[in-house]
Amino acid sequence: MDAEQSYQVRLEIFEGPLDLLLFLIKKKKIDIQDIPIALITREYLDYLSRKDRINLDREAEFLLMAALLIYIKSQMLLPREQLLVPEEEPRKELTDRLMDYQTIKAVVQVLREKEDEQMQVWKRSALTSPLPDEDLDLIEVSLFDLAESFFTMMKRRQGQDIKVIKGKEVTMAEKMNEIVNVLKERHYLDFLEYLGQQETLEEALIAFFCLLELIKARLVIAIQEQLFHTIKVWLRKEAHGKATHG
């Protein structure tokens, strides 16, 4: 690999499989209307095998495209009695998609330029007006605002309701048994979701302490995959038998 190529590669952060395909097509100077599928598939797979060069968050999408390319290739290898009309050509859909995506990329470029221009221009958003402006706070109301407004309101309400402690008495032992049973049935538990399902704040607190106890006793394992994300709880394998008597 020459120096220029590796330099180029480092610069590229592909936004998606189409972005990568367009890059390869350009690099190989291929006519988008007449894509040599075998060649492009090989190039594409080659790239995927060097995974550090694509955005790993969307690996599935890149793999899906690989599958599509292989599918098209296999379709084209099938023996046919007569030539296909252009619309039935398996490459047609790929070409259409690429063309469509190319347009979008051009639009992105135009909008980015316009955004740059507008960044330097300042308008006034707040003005001193002779009328009370309490009714002026919403510029655009969409259906989304309406629905969001409702569900946010409900969330707020739920937050208040949980403070009401109802009379139901739950012991630590009962709760612990319940948790273990749920884990046996469902294999894992979403920590926040489970706490959210508790009827009262008191019960949620008890459940919380029970989980802490179970973790301490090494009966369950709790994993947080990412900071601020929910915590998942699994039953440890060796604990299956023991926990039955919990």
Q: Which residues bind other proteins (CB under 8 A)?
A: 15-18, 26, 58, 61, 64-65, 97, 100-112, 114-115, 117-131, 134-153, 156-157, 160, 229
Amino acid identity, position 237: K
Least Å distance between CB 2 and other proteins?
22
State which residue, 81 or 137, has the beta carbon closest to other proteins. 137
State which residue, 45 or 212, has the beta carbon closest to other proteins. 45
Give the C-alpha separation, 232 to 34, whole Å. 49
State which residue, 16 or 246, has the beta carbon closest to other proteins. 16
Least Å distance between CB 103 and other proteins?
6
Give the C-alpha separation, 98 to 33, whole Å. 10
Give the C-alpha separation, 183 to 177, whole Å. 10
Least Å distance between CB 165 and other proteins?
19
State which residue, 112 or 218, has the beta carbon closest to other proteins. 112
User: Is the sign of the CA dihedral 135, 139, 143, 144 positive or negative?
Assistant: negative
Residue reference for tokens 């039953």: 235
Q: Which residues pair with 49 in a beta bridge?
A: none
Least Å distance between CB 16 and other proteins?
4
Which residues are CB-contacts of 179 (< 8 A; sequence separation ≥ 6)? 189, 194, 207, 210, 211, 214, 220
